Chains A and B, each alone.
Chain A
Amino acid sequence: MRVIELKETVTASNDRDAEALRQELILRGILLVNLMSGPGSGKTTLLSRTIRDLPDLRIAVLEADLDATVDAETIEALGARSIQAHTDGMCHMDAGMTRAGLEALGTEQTDVVFLENVGNLICPAEYDTGAQRRVMILSVPEGDDKPLKYPLMFRESDALIISKTDALPYFDFDLEKCEARVKKLNPMIQVFPLSAKTGEGMAAWEAWLRHSLPKKPAK
């Protein structure tokens, strides 16, 4: 027997797969966004509004939430394509499952794919899916103390959407305090307070999304 020192994280193989997938998608000019949040934070409502607001972008949705038939129907009613990914009851999506999901979805005629990750604030943050952007949604009713309870999710995200701001008058949610907490965990993070219901704040998020698109390869 020979002793081999590895000093690798258990997910090292996933990290390599994820990096390969990321580079492939960039070369093909496709933006993959990993959308993470707790259940009921308004992922589907946000996506519906975003799809409606950006008719020039060909958007597809990879649903990974456990039972997302309702979500899929809502998305397809808007003319965007969607597919249910199989996580086999797992609490997160990894790069292999994402690749399989994208192949089943077909990405030939696509500009943006949203991966609607499993509704959970812990496990999805630990696995790289190969997305170029990681976006987290925190809704006003969930409370401004979430960054203190789930720091990893906030540290790993490129953008935070604070959704349902139309409900601010009814909750003790301190927007400034929340933003300060989040920026302490992750100074680079972009914060977008918005309401998909009223449309307030949607423009800033959509501009950021557009800006995140990889350059189309020269034909």
Chain B
Amino acid sequence: MHEMGIVLHLAKTLDETAKEEHLSKIGSVTLQVGEVSGILTDYFVECWDYFKPRHPILKDSTLILETIPAVTWCDNCKRTYETVKYGRECPYCHSGETWLLKGNECIIKQIEAEEEEPDEASETDEPSSSKTE
């Protein structure tokens, strides 16, 4: 259920953005997912596909996933290494004093979206407060 929860939070964050930016439709959502974020991307895509048609603003959107590689820092020998390949123990000095530098995130990088049509006022010649010319 972890993935579904994340999809719900993502949708809520996108709703707020859509309101602030006056968007009518979201075309694509680019997410950056860390290699060790604990998100299973296959499940995530399934949850997204299930949820999408039920959420008008996202109906026709595509989800683009980018992976952020996980990198660990070793406090002992002051080097970095690939987390997924070597795990918690430093492959150079075998110290356990290591910290994850990145690879834990789940970030909305960007969205592509259509803006709301300006008010009908812009099609007629009525003066309005919005800048139409």
Which residues of A come within 8 Å of B, CB atoms? 1-14, 16, 89-92, 94, 122-123, 148, 151-152
Near A by CB (< 8 A), chain B positions 1-22 give 1-2, 4-6, 9-10, 12-13, 15-17, 21
A–B Cβ pairs within 8 angstroms, 16 of them: A1-B113, A3-B112, A4-B17, A4-B111, A8-B107, A9-B106, A10-B13, A10-B108, A11-B9, A11-B106, A12-B108, A13-B12, A90-B4, A94-B9, A122-B38, A148-B96
Q: Is the interface of B mostly helix, strand, loop or mixed?
A: mixed
B46 at the interface (CB under 8 A from A): no
Complex alpha-carbon distance, A9 and B31, angstroms = 9
Contact B113 A2 (CB under 8 A): yes
- Known contacts: A92-B5, A123-B2. The answer to whether A10 contacts B113 by CB under 8 A is no
CB closest residue in chain B, given A88 = B1
Contact B115 A2 (CB under 8 A): yes
B114 at the interface (CB under 8 A from A): yes
Contact B110 A4 (CB under 8 A): yes
Contact A9 B105 (CB under 8 A): yes
Complex alpha-carbon distance, A91 and B39, angstroms = 13
- Chain A residues near B96 (CB, 8 Å)? 148
Contact B17 A10 (CB under 8 A): no
- Chain A residues near B16 (CB, 8 Å)? 13, 16
User: Which of A4, A9, A91, A152 has a CB less than 8 Å from the CB of B1?
Assistant: A91
Complex alpha-carbon distance, A152 and B106, angstroms = 15
User: Which of A1, A7, A90 has a CB less than 8 Å from the CB of B5?
Assistant: A90
- Chain A residues near B104 (CB, 8 Å)? 152
Complex alpha-carbon distance, A151 and B98, angstroms = 12
Interface residue range, chain B: 20 to 34
- Chain B residues near A90 (CB, 8 Å)? 1, 4-5
B79 at the interface (CB under 8 A from A): no
Complex alpha-carbon distance, A122 and B37, angstroms = 11
- Chain A residues near B17 (CB, 8 Å)? 4, 6
Contact B108 A7 (CB under 8 A): yes
Rounded to whole Å, the gap between the CB of A123 and the closest CB of chain B is 6
CB closest residue in chain B, given A9 = B107
- Known contacts: A1-B27, A6-B108. The answer to whether A91 contacts B38 by CB under 8 A is no
- Known contacts: A1-B27, A13-B13. The answer to whether A6 contacts B2 by CB under 8 A is no
Contact A5 B109 (CB under 8 A): yes
CB closest residue in chain B, given A5 = B110
- Known contacts: A11-B9, A13-B9. The answer to whether A6 contacts B1 by CB under 8 A is no
- Known contacts: A2-B113, A14-B12. The answer to whether A9 contacts B5 by CB under 8 A is no
B88 at the interface (CB under 8 A from A): yes
Complex alpha-carbon distance, A16 and B16, angstroms = 11
Contact B2 A91 (CB under 8 A): yes
Rounded to whole Å, the gap between the CB of B107 and the closest CB of chain A is 6
Complex alpha-carbon distance, A1 and B61, angstroms = 12
Rounded to whole Å, the gap between the CB of B112 and the closest CB of chain A is 5
Complex alpha-carbon distance, A91 and B31, angstroms = 22
In the complex, per-residue mask of B89-124: 1 if CB is within 8 Å of any chain A CB, else 0? 000000010001000111111111111000000000
Complex alpha-carbon distance, A57 and B5, angstroms = 35
